[in-house]
């Protein structure tokens, strides 16, 4: 399995993987192309000879009052169904932390997404880094039938340079 930042040519395959995997809001193809074009350093794809096996789309939060500085926000992570449960999700998160060296990682997860909750909890536990979980968006924040989302905040990560 090879890990690398995405290029624009990956945008369509990332959209397809998210769509095929289920469990995630499928954003427009344009959104994934923008991520590949403009934020590829904070994204990663895993591929083997058959194509994409997993993706993470993330970006750095702008520093602003009330926001912890130096935070990598994971917008979406998806592993192809046939590659799940083998540590690929955790390995992709570890790759992103190594390559970006943020102090904090954040993501949001619904209560029913047990796989994702287990992924981020296990990632924090393995790295011996603190995890806090707080309610974030309630269901009535959404204009459609969407569960509320909890904010998962992991960190601070020790400096990778120490």
Residues that bind ligand COA (CB under 6 A): 21, 23-24, 77-79, 84-90, 109, 113-116, 118-119, 122
Q: How far is the CB of 44 from ligand COA (least distance, A)?
A: 13
Burial class (CB in 10 A: 0-12, 13-18, 19+), 133: middle
- Pick from 4, 23, 7, 155: nearest CA to 92: 4
Neighbours of 148 (CB within 10 A): 15
Instruction: Tell me if 39 sits within 8 A of 59, measured CB to CB.
Output: yes
Q: How far is the CB of 65 from ligand COA (least distance, A)?
A: 26
Nearest 5 degrees, angle CA 101-CA 104-CA 30?
80
Q: Toward ligand COA, which CB reaches closer, 7 or 115?
A: 115
Q: How far is the CB of 33 from ligand COA (least distance, A)?
A: 20
Q: Toward ligand COA, which CB reaches closer, 44 or 79?
A: 79
Q: Toward ligand COA, which CB reaches closer, 63 or 98?
A: 98
């Amino acid at each position: 399995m090879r890990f690398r930042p995405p290029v624009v040519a990956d945008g369509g395959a990332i959209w397809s993987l998210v769509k095929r995997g289920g469990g995630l809001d499928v954003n427009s193809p344009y959104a994934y192309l923008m991520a590949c074009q403009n934020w590829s350093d904070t994204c990663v794809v895993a591929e083997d000879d058959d194509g994409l096996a997993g993706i993470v789309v993330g970006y750095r939060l702008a520093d602003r009052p009330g926001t912890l500085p130096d935070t990598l926000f994971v917008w979406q992570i998806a592993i192809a169904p046939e590659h799940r449960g083998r540590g690929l999700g955790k390995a992709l998160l570890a790759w992103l932390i190594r390559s970006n060296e943020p102090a904090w990682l954040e993501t949001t997860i619904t209560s029913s997404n047990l796989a994702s909750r287990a992924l981020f909890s296990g990632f924090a536990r393995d790295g011996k880094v603190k995890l806090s979980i707080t309610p974030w968006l309630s269901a009535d924040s959404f204009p459609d039938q969407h569960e509320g989302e909890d904010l998962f905040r992991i960190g601070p990560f020790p400096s990778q340079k120490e």
